[in-house]
Amino acid sequence: MTDPVVGLVLEGRYRLDERLARGGMSTVYAATDLRLHRTVAVKVMAEHLKHDPTFVDRFTREARAAAMLSHPNVVSVSDQGSDQGLVYLVMELVRGRTLRDLLQARGRLTVAEAFAVLEPTLSGLTAAHRAGIVHRDIKPENVLIGLDGVVKVADFGLARAVVGSGQTSATGGVLIGTVAYLSPEQLERGRADARSDVYAAGIVLYEMLTGHPPYGGDTPLAVAYQHVHHDVPPPSDENPGLPWQVDDLVERATRRDPGVRPLDAGAFLAELGDLRRDLGIARVPVPTGRSSAGPDTLRPTNRAHHSTRPRHPSDPLNPGTEVLGDTRAGMGRTSMLPGMGGGPTTHVDGRRPPVRPRPGVPDHVRRRRTRLAWAILALLVVTIAAVGWWLGSGRWTHVPSLAGKTQTTAIGLLQEAGLDPVCCIKQFSESVPEGVIISAKPAGGDQIRGSKVNLVVSQGPERFVVDTGLVGQPKAAVLTALGKLPVQVAVQDTYDNKVPAGSVTGFTPAAGTALKRDQTVTVLVSKGHEPVGVPDLRGQSPDAATKNLQELGFKVARGPDGRSADVPVGAVMAVAPGAGNAAPYGSTVTITVCMGVPQVKVPDVAGKSSADATKILTDAGLKVKAQKFFGDRVFRQTPAADQVVDQGTEVTILLTF
């Protein structure tokens, strides 16, 4: 049936020309980039998964992870998107085959050929690890061998960036990966780091040397059980011609304890190079399986003697990505992982393959076996001594000094010491900068038997900030907001000419300042406008005085007119409150306008002496004019007594006997 997707043009750029491969989760097409006129590979997510955010996230993560890497041994990803209902990513097109295809045709590889494939694989992984990316799904299907012999690592769909403790974990309790290549820590705790990729690469090396993975079983659970509870057997058990040093390399890479594996792919690659030099293994071309029959034909040579064993649907010789702990349809074979007890290591049928008898052993082989037996005996003695040392002082590990180191440096030191950092408890510190280790438990210099070291990392000084938006808000609302901060609060009333009474004018220290825990913050609450001094307005016209008072914020009232000898008639003669006094802003000031000089009642000075009469009248504010007739006593006065006259009026007194 014709694939309906073939012929579509995605985003007006990528024309899907040919379907190359189909899996349960995606289909890969050869496509033409119409913009750059080049051939690319386009991976399209399966129809039933495009609405699942988990798998859409996996696609996006693959694009981002691969885009971070630029290495000749990593399949490059150039674009990602969705169009016409298809979620896709655009990759480099590698013409050739996978390592799985090669192993199915060849059965197994020679040591030199296995090294030729593994070295560029580890080189690509080293670039990923140094970029902080863990692949998490290394397997023969994800190792591509081009027709030109170039090896590339593909499918970073399960890759995660290393964070915090330097580990990644499964999402939501679901462990996704290919169970035949998952490390024990991934199966037990769902956690992975660069050493988990090293384990998977060690399993791939075992498979290249023997033609099959070390463990098989009827279910993924059975395979997972063996990874967790058994050491990977030496590949020479299946391929007796292998040097013991190769067995040792596989053993170191696949140890169940991640702390004693090579630290990352770079360390594994270095050990591989050392072994190549030690054994004098010649460099050979990467086997591509090409023959005269054509570029897509593999030569079926060196097939393993057990390659015809029956296949079970769960047989890891044809593994797919497993989902353990998730029951959603379309997500792979499903198995729960309860606590696993002890049990034998098994292959597909639950038994180790029987050793086939070899007829007619030559003398030189017999001598070689004798030497091998002595070597094994010597190794046994060394092993017993090593176990004794381990049970004594050897299994004690010194915790490196970590206080004062950055979080990244501390994690690296612990991993180099074979310890597992548990990161991180965050604490505030007034003395230790942010991101620096405050302490470790066990502490630096201690000896421990376990592998976990708990780290306490500084968050820097603990500080709290008062929101600047609280300025101008009502007092009650501000106090409620401050009650949520671990600070002490004081209140101070203050005049403010702009902020209404009862609202907050500011803080001491000012809003936005970083505060320590329990530090006192003073809330400045407005009492309204400060009082205003009443000016001296005497002598001004009523209109001028009113304008001046209003400009100061006062209301103005005019009281009853008064009399004053000091100001002209019609001018302001007094204000209340009096001039110089402070009055509340917006209060009323009363002005008094002069209608003339004061009036007085003329005193009665009849019969008084001239001197006494003059004094009495003068004290009353009147002027005195005396007319004397033969005596010194007042006989008559004008104006008459008790008459009301203006102050300063002249009173004439007539003096007689």
Output the pLDDT for position 89: 87
- With a CB cutoff of 8 Å and minimum separation 6, the contacts of 70 are 76, 127
Task: Give Dmax over CA atoms of the chain in angstroms.
Answer: 187
Residues 500 and 526: beta-carbon distance below 8 Å: yes
Is 355 among the domain residues?
A: no
Identify the pLDDT of residue 352.
Answer: 37
Q: Evaluate whether 30 touches 10 at the Cβ level (below 8 Å).
A: no
Residue 391 lies in a domain: no
pLDDT tens figures, 459-486: 889 899 999 999 999 999 999 999 999 9
Between residues 160 and 49, which one has the greater pLDDT? 49
Is residue 615 predicted with pLDDT exceeding 50? yes
* DSSP type of residue 423: E
pLDDT number for residue 326: 39
Model confidence at 447: pLDDT above 50 = yes
52 catalytic per annotation: no
Any domain includes 336: no
Taking residues 65-85, report their average pLDDT. Answer: 85
- Confidence grade of residue 47 (pLDDT, cut at 50, 70, 90): confident
Q: For residue 58, tell me if it sits in a domain.
A: yes
Indicate if the pLDDT at residue 316 is higher than 70. no
Asked whether residue 392 is domain-assigned, the answer is no
Secondary structure in 3-state letters for 635-651: EEEECCCCCEEECCCEE
Between 170 and 185, where is the model more confident? Answer: 185
Strand segments (E) across 413-539: 420-427, 437-441, 447-448, 452-458, 464-465, 488-494, 504-508, 514-515, 520-526, 532-533
165/280 same-domain check: yes
465-468 — which CB contacts under 8 Å span 24+ positions? 465/511, 465/512, 465/513, 465/514, 465/515, 466/507, 466/511, 466/512, 466/513, 466/515, 466/521, 467/511, 468/511, 468/512
Kindly state whether residues 556 and 608 are assigned to the same domain.
no
Is pLDDT of 314 > 50? no
Shared domain check, 43 and 135 = no
**In contact, 419 and 399? CB cutoff 8 Å:** yes
Q: Give per-residue pLDDT as tens, 354-408.
A: 433 333 445 555 666 666 777 677 677 666 665 555 455 445 567 888 888 888 8
Q: What is the pLDDT of residue 325?
A: 41
pLDDT tens sequence across 283-305: 999 998 754 333 343 333 333 33
Based on the fold, state whether residues 425 and 484 are members of the same structural domain. no
Picking from 91, 106, 128, the residue at the C-terminal end of a domain is: 91
pLDDT given at position 76: 86
More confident residue, 159 or 582: 582
Q: Are residues 164 and 216 in the same domain?
A: yes
356 in a structural domain:
no
8 A C-beta contact, residue 596 and residue 569 = yes
Beta bridge mates, 583: 532
Indicate whether 147 and 256 sit together in one domain: yes
For residue 21, give the nearest of 137, 120, 142 by alpha carbon.
142
Torsion angles phi and psi, residue 425, rounded to 5 = -85, 125
Residues 217 and 348 sit within 8 Å (Cβ to Cβ): yes
- Select from 481, 498, 526 the last residue of a domain: 526
Checking if the pLDDT of 351 tops 70, the result is no
How many CA atoms lie less than 13 Å away from 346 in the CB half-sphere?
A: 17
DSSP class per residue in 388-427: HHIIIIIT-EEPPP-TTSBHHHHHHHHHHTT-EEEEEEEE
User: By mean pLDDT, which of 136-150, 269-283, 462-476, 625-639 is the weakest?
Assistant: 625-639
Structure tokens at 507: 């803080």
The tens digit of pLDDT for each residue in 513-541 reads: 989 899 999 999 999 999 999 999 999 99
pLDDT at residue number 332: 34
Beta bridge partners of 28: 21, 43
Average pLDDT along the chain: 80
Residue 202 pLDDT > 90: yes
Same domain for 410 and 265: no
Beta-carbon contacts of 83 under 8 Å, excluding residues fewer than 6 positions away, are 10, 11
Task: Judge if 48 and 169 occupy the same domain.
Answer: no
User: What confidence score (pLDDT) does residue 221 get?
Assistant: 87
Res. 172: pLDDT tops 80: no
In CATH, what number is assigned to the domain containing residue 448?
3.30.10.20
Q: Can you give the pLDDT at residue 288?
A: 85
How far apart, in whole angstroms, are the C-alpha atoms of residue 418 and residue 414? 6
Q: Which of 256, 237, 235, 239 is nearest to 247 (CA)?
A: 235
Q: What pLDDT, on a 0 to 100 scale, did the predictor assign at position 382?
A: 66
Q: Are 30 and 93 in contact (CB under 8 A)?
A: yes
Which residues contact residue 351 at a Cβ distance below 8 angstroms, ignoring those fewer than 6 apart? none
Do 414 and 555 fall within a single domain? no
Residue 254 falls inside a structural domain: yes
153: amino acid identity, one letter: V
19 and 72 in a single domain? The answer is: yes
Looking at this protein, which amino acid is placed at residue 283? R
Helices (H) and strands (E) in the chain, counts: 13, 35
* Residue-level pLDDT at 315: 41
Low-confidence winner among 240-244, 300-304, 318-322, 353-357 (lowest mean pLDDT): 300-304
- Number of domains comprising the chain: 6
My answer on whether 74 and 100 are in the same domain is no
| CA–CA dist 350, 470 (Å, integer) | 73
- Under the banding of pLDDT at 50, 70 and 90, the label for residue 445 is low
Residues 271 and 171 in one domain: yes
Residue 262 predicted with pLDDT over 90:
yes
53: Cβ contacts below 8 Å, ≥ 6 apart: none
Domain boundary among 510, 526, 542: 526
Please report whether residue 4 resides in a domain.
Answer: no
| Tens digit of each residue's pLDDT (9 = 90 or more) over 216-228 | 888 888 898 899 9
From the list 3, 57, 101, 137, the catalytic residue is 137
Query: 518: domain range?
Result: 464-526
Q: pLDDT tens, 329-348?
A: 333 332 333 333 333 333 33
How much is the pLDDT for 157? 57
Model pLDDT, residue 140: 94
Element (H, E) at 61: helix 53-67
At 451, give phi and psi (nearest 5°). Answer: -130, -5
Q: How confident is the model at residue 451 (pLDDT cuts 50, 70, 90)?
A: low
User: Percent helix, strand and coil across the chain, each rounded to 5?
Assistant: 30, 25, 45
